[in-house]
Chain A
Amino acid sequence: ETGVTQSPTHLIKTRGQQVTLRCSSQSGHNTVSWYQQALGQGPQFIFQYYREEENGRGNFPPRFSGLQFPNYSSELNVNALELDDSALYLCASSTMTGMFDGYTFGSGTRLTVV
C-alpha cells in the first residue's frame, strides 16, 4: 500500500509568479485535502476535493485553486504569489466510502516566495 506522495519537495518562486503543487493519494483513498502550515504554526485547511469537485474550503482567497483527477490525484495552484504564501503545503488523503480511518498526510512541499 503506497502512502501519499507530494511533489516537488522544495521550490523557490518569485513574488507574483504562479505555482502548481502535486499530490498522489494513498491507495484506496478517494478524497484529497490541502493544508498550509506556516512556520511555527499548525496546519490550516485550504480545501478538500472529492469526485473531482471542491467539497469544502477554508479561509483562503480565490487565487488558491485546485483540481482532482479521475485517479484521485490532485493539484494545488496558487496565482500571484505573495511573500506570506511561503509555507509547508501538506496534502492529506482519506476516503468517503467504507470505513473512515482518518487522514494520511504526505511529507509536504516547502514553498519559499522571494
Chain B
Amino acid sequence: GNSVTQMEGPVTLSEEAFLTINCTYTATGYPSLFWYVQYPGEGLQLLLKATKADDKGSNKGFEATYRKETTSFHLEKGSVQVSDSAVYFCALSRGRDDKIIFGKGTRLHILP
C-alpha cells in the first residue's frame, strides 16, 4: 500500500544552519506530495506542495522537489531560524477523493 517514510528526529541545529529532512514514499500512480508543519499546541499548516514529477514546492524559504526516479520529496532550507522549531510531516495524496497519508513526523529544534 501507499506509505511515507521520513527521517526520525529530533533534529537539532543552530540558527542559520542548513536543513534537510529526508522523505521517501511508496505509491501507485502519481500522488501529490506535501509538507505540513505543526507548531506546539496547534493543528497542521500546509508548508508546500508539489503535484507532479520535477515540480518544486517552495514557501517561507523552504523547498522540496518531487523526484519520481528516487521516490523522494526532501525538505530543505538554507538558513533556519529559531521560529522554524516545530514538527514537520511529509505526506501524500492521490487527489481530492483520497485520504492523506502522513509520515510519523520529524521534530526540529533550532538553537539560538
A interface residue numbers (CB < 8 A to B): 6, 31, 33, 35, 40-45, 48, 55-56, 58, 88, 90, 92, 94-96, 100, 102-108
Contacts and interface: CB of A to CB of B under 8 A. Distances in A.
27 contacts: A31-B96, A33-B99, A33-B100, A35-B100, A40-B105, A41-B104, A42-B89, A42-B91, A42-B104, A43-B89, A44-B102, A48-B99, A56-B98, A58-B99, A90-B43, A90-B44, A92-B44, A92-B100, A94-B96, A95-B96, A103-B93, A103-B100, A105-B36, A105-B43, A105-B45, A105-B46, A107-B42
Contacts of B100: 33, 35, 43, 45, 92, 103
A59 to B, nearest CB: 11
B31 interface: no
A90 B42 CA distance: 10
